[in-house]
Structure 1
């Protein structure tokens, strides 16, 4: 059964989006992401400056959590489709926060690899359940818009937390940074406790374990297309700060502030255009901006170009995120939302992991500029893959949402 919303057709925006549950979900999502991304840019600095670890080994330490996510995300999608979503959300967040205590004792690369792996398992459960709970709360008529606002809370955290993290790390050290992450996580648990989810009928029997319970089969072509874009995101979160420091920028964490600005400005508006039927135009514009941003990032090495590139990339990714997540959810029944969201998030996890590992090798051998030229080229290819393949796959498989 196909959707009745066509290109340019308006949908009802009078349905209330900002209720108490959605606000609490957004607050929880922001705090969870803040706690996680406080450590993301500072672990490479800590490993490099304090433990004198090479870039290739830093990539290994960082990517271990991605391996855990690739294992956990598909199972998380199955779990949230079968078991109570609020309970899983609370369980995942609580275990995720508790794992921060391990960083007080991390003094070797192997310890970091193991700790990041275990931490990644609970991060995977938390994020899949958070996204699925949010989509349950959001009215279907305003799904892309709601996804946009919900997702921007994570993107703001993803962009501002690294900037704050660099300041805390430089001023007070790694232990104080871990304490800050723990505090953020504790507030996140409190926010989750206030969320009330809609009633959902329990399945008569648990569905059998099968491949299509872990990944949205008909979304695999979209998934492959997504990898070309998430590769670059992996190089950003892992190496943007180091790249900035090597080009003489004092607090390279400012990159994430401009990235956040672009994400916020675009993400809160792009969802509205997706809901009105301009999905494909939004995606093509987003990928084109990402391609341009990476090219500028690789080509020009001064503070102005550094910040401008970050802003362009922010606008591109902020426009892409809600559109891409809407594509997956519009191809799945409501009983498979967990699977749809885990597929979407796994697409980023796998691409980010590949980006971290391959980016570490490319930057080590050819330099950071070469690495970002590669990401720009992959994004350029992604535009054509989307228009000539992914767009057609979506149109064949989208279903009427409720």
Structure 2
């Protein structure tokens, strides 16, 4: 009985001790802080709900309408990709001349873009967007009236300048609609419109030439390019910030290396778009099949890139995607064949689809506030420079080597940009 009483006393002492320990003040209370009350918890959830509502404002009417306009404009542009090299060849141009004429377009845009970016930051977007679209559509339909290579070169220069004006103004207007905390995601969805255009544009061009004529293609492309004029009223009504736009751009080492990476990536893109139709003609295949696989994987890569940019940062996405691009180009040049061409198209679409929005987002961050026009101009200038130089340089190289070697050379160029980017651009960009 005494043993039972002692066990009961010990049990009661244990329970009392546990109650006392459980009522000891927490570390926050020991520091003099009050515990979080239920109203405070509700306030936190309310702020989170308000934050999620602000994040949903990415999909505004202006953002959706302007992104749709970009889709139409790029569809008209990309519809010429599988057709124009063959059309120039039928006019009597050699392989080197084809690359030079195609490259004149982008080189002309390169010269105009920096000045256009400054005008957009100081004078707004609306009037430059309207002028660019009108001239772009006019020069598009003018291809039907050109019969000599000299006039074709002049037309390509004028068309490239109008393209630089229209695409930079429209792209900057879309950038203005994207919230700062969702820049990576917004740029990825904005890039998805160009991805869909990459898929539908070449297919539209190939279909129009097969069942109608090249002149009909030029007319349809011009009409598609004019449709974005219907969305001009959806442009943001805010005026440019004169104080922010007047601050001179700081050319940091990270910005220079990022733009160089954009140029070297676009170098390979210029080679793929210019010489892929001629390369696949040797195997009896159509370029539309390559671009269809490429655009399908590109469409999957864009949303994934937006999530990875927000979680892992631009540097991680850029480095991994450039590695995939290099792999695809080496496979295309070293092995060849129908199956490998399809696999290379998938890899190239995956890598390019993730690299482009990450690079553009990084350029926007590195240029600073109030410089959206200049940031987009610098990005597209670097991109167009790569396409133009790639078309011309690979055209000169195509005189002595086959098309497979051209793609290996493109892979080596991207590899140089990959190594430079990893070695100099910091792991974490301060914004």
Q: TM-score surpassing 0.5?
A: yes
Distance 2:254 2:315 in 1: 18
- The answer on 1:355 being equivalent to 2:395 is no
1:235–1:352 Cα contact (<8 Å) kept:
yes
> Aligned pair in 2 of structure 1 residues 159, 238: CA closer, same or farther (>3 Å)?
farther
C-alpha distance after superposition, 1:104-160 (max 9, x if no partner): 111111111110110111100111111211111011111111111111211221233
Task: Report the counterpart of residue 419 of structure 2 in structure 1.
Answer: 384
Task: Report the counterpart of residue 151 of structure 1 in structure 2.
Answer: 191
Task: Report the counterpart of residue 90 of structure 1 in structure 2.
Answer: 130
- The answer on 1:282 being equivalent to 2:282 is no
Task: Report the counterpart of residue 83 of structure 2 in structure 1.
Answer: 42
1:96–1:126 Cα contact (<8 Å) kept:
yes
Q: How many pairs were matched up?
A: 379
Task: Report the counterpart of residue 24 of structure 1 in structure 2.
Answer: 65
C-alpha distance after superposition, 1:64-96 (max 9, x if no partner): 111211111101110110012123222211221
Task: Report the counterpart of residue 16 of structure 2 in structure 1.
Answer: none
Return the offset for 1:302.
2.5
Task: Report the counterpart of residue 175 of structure 2 in structure 1.
Answer: 135
Unaligned runs of 5+ in 1: 1-11
Task: Report the counterpart of residue 246 of structure 1 in structure 2.
Answer: 282
Secondary structure of 1:286 counterpart: helix
Distance 2:159 2:205 in 1: 19
> Aligned pair in 2 of structure 1 residues 381, 104: CA closer, same or farther (>3 Å)?
same
Unaligned runs of 5+ in 2: 1-50
Distance 2:75 2:97 in 1: 25
Return the offset for 1:163.
2.6
Secondary structure of 1:391 counterpart: coil
Task: Report the counterpart of residue 8 of structure 1 in structure 2.
Answer: none
1:24–1:194 Cα contact (<8 Å) kept:
no
Distance 2:235 2:379 in 1: 24
Residue correspondence of structure 1 range 253-264 to structure 2 within 5 A: 253-264=288-299
> Aligned pair in 2 of structure 1 residues 139, 27: CA closer, same or farther (>3 Å)?
same
C-alpha distance after superposition, 1:265-314 (max 9, x if no partner): 00122112112243222111100100011011112332222121111100
Residue correspondence of structure 1 range 364-375 to structure 2 within 5 A: 364-375=399-410
Return the offset for 1:258.
0.8
2:124–2:240 Cα contact (<8 Å) kept:
no
1:13–1:142 Cα contact (<8 Å) kept:
no
- The answer on 1:310 being equivalent to 2:345 is yes
Distance 1:113 1:157 in 2: 25
Task: Report the counterpart of residue 233 of structure 1 in structure 2.
Answer: 269
Task: Report the counterpart of residue 119 of structure 2 in structure 1.
Answer: 79
Task: Report the counterpart of residue 93 of structure 2 in structure 1.
Answer: 53
Secondary structure of 2:242 counterpart: coil
Task: Report the counterpart of residue 174 of structure 1 in structure 2.
Answer: 214
- The answer on 1:193 being equivalent to 2:232 is yes
1:63–1:353 Cα contact (<8 Å) kept:
yes
Distance 1:64 1:268 in 2: 33
> Aligned pair in 2 of structure 1 residues 204, 369: CA closer, same or farther (>3 Å)?
closer
2:322–2:351 Cα contact (<8 Å) kept:
yes
Return the offset for 1:164.
2.3
Task: Report the counterpart of residue 4 of structure 1 in structure 2.
Answer: none
1:73–1:346 Cα contact (<8 Å) kept:
yes
TM-score normalised by the chain length of structure 1: 0.89
Q: 2:358 aligns with which of 300, 306, 323?
A: 323
Task: Report the counterpart of residue 326 of structure 2 in structure 1.
Answer: 291
RMSD after superposition:
2.1
- The answer on 1:272 being equivalent to 2:307 is yes
2:257–2:420 Cα contact (<8 Å) kept:
no
1:78–1:339 Cα contact (<8 Å) kept:
yes
Return the offset for 1:217.
7.9
Secondary structure of 2:234 counterpart: coil
C-alpha distance after superposition, 1:298-347 (max 9, x if no partner): 12332222121111100000000110001111112221111111111111
C-alpha distance after superposition, 1:41-78 (max 9, x if no partner): 21110111x21211101111111111211111101110
Secondary structure of 1:41 counterpart: coil
In our comparison, the structure showing a higher alpha carbon Rg is 2
